Amino acid sequence: MKKETVQPAKYLTGGLELPGDKSISHRYAMLAGLAEGTSELRHFSAAADCHSTLDCMRALGAEVKIDKDTVQVTGSGVRGLKSSWRALDAGNSGTTMRLLAGILAGQAFTSKLTGDESLQKRPMGRVIGPLREMGADIRGREDNFAPLEIRGSRLKAMHYMMPMASAQVKSAVLLAGLFADGVTSVTEPAGTRDHTELALEEFGAQIEKDGRTVRIHGLGSGNGSGKLIAKPLDVPGDLSSAVFFIAAASVLPDSNLLIHNVGLNPTRTAILDLFASMGASIQMLGLKSSQGELVGDLSVKGSSLKGGAIAGRQIPLLIDELPMLAALGPYTEEGIEIRDAAELRVKESDRIAALAENLRRMGATVEERPDGLKVAGRRAGKLRGAEIEPRGDHRIAMAFAVAALGAEGNTVIRNSDCAGVSFPKFFEELNRMADR
C-alpha cells in the first residue's frame, strides 16, 4: 500500500481543474444507459466510484467507451437492460449500490449487487424497505447488507415519507418510480442534493417538485414521451473535491487559488456559505447555468477562520464536507463542533472514530460523541506531523493531508491511494499548488 508524505506548506497558489462531479457522473452514467442512443458525457469523473458505475452499466448491456474524461454511453432504451451473468460490483460506492438497486428493482430479471469490504458493512435496509413496498423482491445479508439479490418486478407507484435525509434513498425511489405504474413521490425531512431530479429532467423524464416533495411519472403512465433520450452532457467540476483546496487555502495566509468550472448547485454550496460565515475569503465568478446545473469559478484567498458549531438541518447538506471541517478545527479560533451527524459512522468508514483517532495522533484536543465530535481550536496548541490511518476512506486521507500542511513536521498518510475513490490526482495537485 502506498504512503504519501505531506510536508508543511506556507501557502497554496495557482489554478486548479477538478475531476468531474462524482454525484452527477453516477446519475448521467445510469440514465444514459437507460436512454435510447448514445450520450456523450464530457468531463466525466475520474473517481474509481464512478468507474464502478460504468462497469455495472456495461455488465447490464449498455455500451461504454472511455476516452480520457469523455465517456460515450449507448443505451437501448428504458426496457433495454439485460441481466448480467456475474454479480454487479459497486466497489466502494454507496451511490452506485443504492441508486442501481432502484433501477434493478424495476427490471424483468434478477441481479446480484455486491461491493468491497467497506460497502458490505454499510446499511442497505434504507433502500430495501421502500423498494419492497413498491413490489420488488430484495434479499440481503441480515436483511440490511450487501450482497443484495434483487428480483425485479412490476412496480407499484407509492408516496414515500423518507425517515432520513438521504439523497441516495430519495434517488433509489425516484429511479424505481421510472418503472412503476403511475406517479411515485418522495418527501424528504430535510433538503438533500437534487442531482437525480435534475438529471432525470435532462433525459426527458417528467418530474415535479413541491417544497420537499418530488414526484416522478412512471414511463408507462401515458405522460411525457415514455422514454429517456440520449444527449451530450457536460459534468461540472466536483465541489466536494474542491473543498479540500478551499480549506487549505483558507487556513494558510497568503494563499491565492482560482478553481475553475466548479459545480455550484445550491443543494451543494452550504459549505461555501459556512466557510464565508466563518470568515473565509471566497468569491464566485462567472456563474452560469449549464444543463440544469449551476457552474462557476471560485477565487479563494488566505484568511483566518472563526470555527463554530454545525448541527441539525445543516448536516445533510454538508455531509461529505464534515471530515474536512473537523480536521480544520485546530486551525480555527473557536474550534469546530459537529452534532446530529451519527450518519458519519456509516460512511466509507466510521468517520467520527477515524477523525477523532487521527486528530489525536496529531496532538489535537478532541471529544468524540455518538453523533459527532468537538475539536478544540488554535489555543489548544499547534498540530504536529504524525502517521495517519485513513481506514481506506478517501475523505479522511484528503482531510488529513490538508491538516498536515499547517502542522509542525511531516505527516505520513498510510494507504494514500484510497484518495482515488473520488480524486485520483489529489496528492499530485496538492504538491503542485503548495509553496514550501
Give me the active site residues, please: 320
Taking the complex as a whole, the smallest distance from the CB of residue 53 to ligand S3P amounts, in Å, to: 10
Residues 77-96 that bind ligand S3P (CB under 6 A): 95
In sequence order, the β-bridge partners of residue 288 are 295
Beta bridge partners of 234: 42
Q: Report the distance separating Cα 214 and Cα 224, nearest Å.
A: 16
Rounded-to-integer distance, Cα 115 and Cα 261, Å? 31
Q: How far apart are CA 406 and CA 7, in angstroms?
A: 9
Q: Is 49 an interacting residue with respect to ligand S3P (CB under 6 A)?
A: no
Instruction: Report the residue number, 43 or 378, with the smaller CB distance to ligand S3P.
Output: 43
Shortest distance, position 165 Cβ to ligand S3P, whole Å: 7
How many angstroms separate the CA atoms of 49 and 97, rounded?
10
Candidates 50-58, 166-174, 251-259, 332-340; binding stretch for ligand S3P (CB under 6 A) = 166-174
Cα–Cα nearest to 348, from 419, 265, 267, 270? 419
* Cβ at position 90, least distance to ligand S3P in Å: 13
**Which residues have C-beta within 8 Å of that of residue 365, sequence separation ≥ 6?**
375, 376, 380, 381
Q: Is 324 in the site for ligand S3P (CB under 6 A)?
A: no
Rounded to whole angstroms, the Cα distance separating 271 from 240 reads 9
Write the binding mask 250 to 279 for ligand S3P: x where contact by CB under 6 A, - elsewhere: ------------------------------
Site for ligand S3P in 343-402 (CB under 6 A): none
Q: Pick from 166, 184, 241, 250: which binds ligand S3P (CB under 6 A)?
A: 166
Q: Minimal distance in Å, beta carbon 94 to ligand S3P? A: 6
Strand order, beta sheet including 213-217: 159-161, 183-187, 213-217, 207-210
385: nearest Cα among 365, 410, 360: 410
Rounded distance between C-alpha atoms, residue 336 and residue 338, angstroms: 7
Part of the chain binding ligand S3P (CB under 6 A), chosen from 51-59, 82-90, 162-170, 326-334: 162-170
- The C-alpha cell 488529513 sits at 400
Q: For the CB of residue 14, give the shortest distance to ligand S3P in the complex, in Å.
A: 27
Q: Which spans in 203-333 are helix H? A: 239-251, 270-277, 314-318, 322-328
Q: Which stretch binds ligand S3P (CB under 6 A): 167-175, 246-254, 333-341, 411-419?
A: 167-175
CB of 23 to ligand S3P, least distance (A): 3
Looking at residue 78, what DSSP letter applies? Answer: T
Rounded to a whole number of angstroms, the minimum distance from the CB of residue 263 to ligand S3P is 12
Complex with ligand S3P: residue 165 or 413, whichever CB lies closer: 165
Judged by CB under 6 A, the residue of 29, 319, 373, 386 near ligand S3P is 319
- What do you get for the CA distance between the two ends of the chain, in Å? 26
Interface residue with ligand S3P among 124, 128, 158, 167 (CB under 6 A) is 167
Beta pairing partners, 300: 257, 282
Which of these segments, 160-168, 279-287, 322-330, 386-394, binds ligand S3P (CB under 6 A)?
A: 160-168
Binding mask 189-208 for ligand S3P (x = CB under 6 A): ----x---------------
Yes or no: say if 8 and 404 are a contact pair by the CB < 8 Å rule. Answer: yes
Number of residues in contact with ligand S3P under rule CB under 6 A: 9
Whether the Cβ atoms of residue 190 and residue 270 lie closer than 8 Å to each other: no
Candidates 13, 18, 23, 233; binder of ligand S3P (CB under 6 A) is 23
List interacting residues with ligand S3P (CB under 6 A): 23, 95, 166-168, 171, 193, 319-320
